[in-house]
Amino acid sequence: MLKVCKFGGSSLSDAKHFKQVKAIIEADKDRKCVIVSAPGKGEGERDKITDLLYLCFQHNKYHVEFDSLFERVEQRYLTIKKELNIDYPIENDIKDIKDALKAGEMTEAKLVSRGEYLCAKLLSAYLGYSFLDAKDLIHFKFDGKVDEKKTNEDITKAFSKVEKAVIPGFYGSYPNGDICLFSRGGSDVSASYFAEALDAYLYENFTDVSGFYMADPRIIENPLKINEISYDELRELSYAGAQVLHAETIIPLMEKRIPLEVLNSNHPEEGGT
């Protein structure tokens, strides 16, 4: 019996949020499969790591110096590691990434995926969970669609060998091993594939809002919360532009009717949708 939990970038933006995430995970022994986004914007953080990595790639491509940009990425992870005393040499991974980029050995997708990769490495060490690499579990065909059969089989196999794991969201690999990304916000979709393959009884999606509201809270003051919504209504809302979840999130969940709960990692007690 397990739940799949996905934490978005705003839920992992800094050490304080890592701590909150740890408390949430440790509050329920069924939270055994954890999918993460790259650290995003937060109280003291202006940038999403993913955006900075896209920028680094473009700078390097046009031979514009990118050291200071890359250092901003590096500092985010080093600060989290230091403030939480995480015993994992993340600096080595970061150095390898930078060296490979300078040597022209990184595709854009690979570089950008490192935001999630580094985040999962740190969180798994912090929680004492295993780390599983999404490149070995989420398989894309060359047409960019997910190979559901292979993905399902490999996720199931991997989880027969570990009890609890953290996995980077947002990417997988092509049959030749190259990294392939979902579209932006795609960690939501990664987590759905895990929920489906592992027969999770619940997929908890932790973000920075306590679920869906009847109107955009940035435009309408205190809109009412929607406690329950059908898959079809949710899909319509997402395609219509509600920015809470990636529009494709529910596709892998529908057949097995796996319930999805959208929760706020800052206020999990509020409940969600």
What CA–CA distance (Å, rounded) separates 245 from 263?
Answer: 11
Shortest gap between Cβ of 48 and ligand ASP (angstroms)? 5
Give residues in contact with ligand ASP (CB under 6 A).
9, 37-38, 48, 50, 115, 169-170, 184-187
Name the pairing type of β-strands 179-181 and 171-173.
antiparallel
Specify the residue, 121 or 214, whose C-beta has the smaller distance to ligand ASP.
121
CA 11 → CA 22, 134, 264, distances in Å? 11, 20, 8
Specify the residue, 9 or 42, whose C-beta has the smaller distance to ligand ASP.
9
Shortest gap between Cβ of 12 and ligand ASP (angstroms)? 10
Specify the residue, 169 or 211, whose C-beta has the smaller distance to ligand ASP.
169
Specify the residue, 186 or 211, whose C-beta has the smaller distance to ligand ASP.
186
Specify the residue, 50 or 210, whose C-beta has the smaller distance to ligand ASP.
50
Specify the residue, 46 or 63, whose C-beta has the smaller distance to ligand ASP.
46
DSSP state of 164: S
What CA–CA distance (Å, rounded) separates 166 from 6?
Answer: 10
Residue 73 C-beta-side C-alpha neighbours within 13 Å: 31
Shortest gap between Cβ of 85 and ligand ASP (angstroms)? 26
What CA–CA distance (Å, rounded) separates 242 from 50?
Answer: 21
Shortest gap between Cβ of 254 and ligand ASP (angstroms)? 20
Beta strand extents in the chain (DSSP E only): 3-7, 31-36, 130-131, 165-168, 171-173, 179-181, 202-207, 212-213, 225-226, 260-264
Specify the residue, 49 or 198, whose C-beta has the smaller distance to ligand ASP.
49
Shortest gap between Cβ of 117 and ligand ASP (angstroms)? 11
Shortest gap between Cβ of 9 and ligand ASP (angstroms)? 5
Shortest gap between Cβ of 115 and ligand ASP (angstroms)? 6
Following CA atoms 216, 219, 220, 223 in sequence, which dihedral angle do they give, to the nearest 10 degrees? 20
The gap between the terminal CA atoms of the chain, to the nearest Å, is: 22
For residues 179 and 107, the answer to whether their CB atoms sit within 8 Å is yes
* Helix (DSSP H) and strand (DSSP E) numbers for the chain: 9, 10
